[in-house]
Amino acid sequence: MIYTVTFNPAIDYVVWLDGLRPGAVNRARREFIQFGGKGINVSVMLGRLGVESTALGFLAGFTGRAVEQGLVQDGIKTDFIHLDEGFTRINVKLKGGEETEINGQGPAIPAGALEALFRRLDRLTGEDILVLAGSIPSSLPGDIYERILARLDGRGVRTVVDAEGELLRGVLPCRPFLVKPNHLELEAVFGRELRSEEERRACAGELRKRGARNVLVSLAGDGALLLDETGAFHRIAAPRGAVRNSVGAGDSMVAGFLAGWLNTGDYARALRLGVAAGSATAFSDGLASRAAVEELLRQGFPQA
């Protein structure tokens, strides 16, 4: 079973405007709601690709109940911890020429709730995969990802970490199965601009030396680069299409990669499905449908 953890889930309220005018009444041209948070996005996309998962994390208030109800209706298994105070955040995504985001804060997570999550994670075995994705609330310790991986050490659980900065650096000694920085996050880890393919490959190699078994670097419109645990590099360009949405594309890539790897055990084919899923979401208004992903796979990919 794949388990995803989302420490700070959200209701994403997405609004299209003809143009954003500060200080004036702005009327929506189109709108929709989706249930988000990086781990939740991974679970939703896995479900659309036919792979079962369980979404873990923390919910609060009426917005939290709405998130859980929506995921259950979408066929996603959940095992959330419900907090007594606060409410799950609402993020507003304004699309009016440029994308503007207003992200809510989310509830504080008390020590008892965190311990309840640890008890859930203690059930995981070598047959399971755990996905830790995204930022963490200020009420949690900054090394929470590292603490979780250390707690799972020796039990054979494959861990996937999609994070940046210290969250990413801290987990490397715990030998995660997969880390997925984007190209900007990779630059931030090493504190310099990476101008060439060779520099990106060298930095991916350094992450592997520090402990990551597989390093997947998303390159936005340029596709993705994978350094697998055998030391082999795989490079694929992104399919062609009009970008309509940046939210959830990286999470979709993680889900596609895991679905491809579980189905085939082949890293090149896993990368191909990962890039197709990430690109399909970028070309959609929300997380992509399975049909959209399969259509990109049929169309093929340009030469990297």
Under DSSP, is residue 225 helix (H, G, I), strand (E, B) or coil? Answer: strand
Active site annotation includes 251? yes
Q: How many residues does the chain have?
A: 304
CA distance 195 to 172: 24
Give the DSSP H or E segment for 219.
none
Q: Which residues, other chains included, contact 288 with Cβ-Cβ below 8 Å and sequence gap of 6+?
A: 45, 48, 252, 277, 280, 281
In the chain the first and final C-alpha atoms are separated, in Å, by: 33
Catalytic residue among 128, 162, 228, 251: 251
Classify each residue of 85-122 as buried b or exposed e, where b means 16 or more C-beta atoms within 10 Å of its C-beta. Answer: ebbbbbbebbbbeeeeeeeeebbebeeebbeebeeebe
Burial class from Cβ neighbours inside 10 Å (0-12, 13-18, 19+) for residue 222 reads middle
Query: What is d(CA 96, CA 132) in angstroms, rounded to the nearest whole number?
Result: 32
Residue type, 214: N
Q: Which residues are the active-site residues?
A: 251
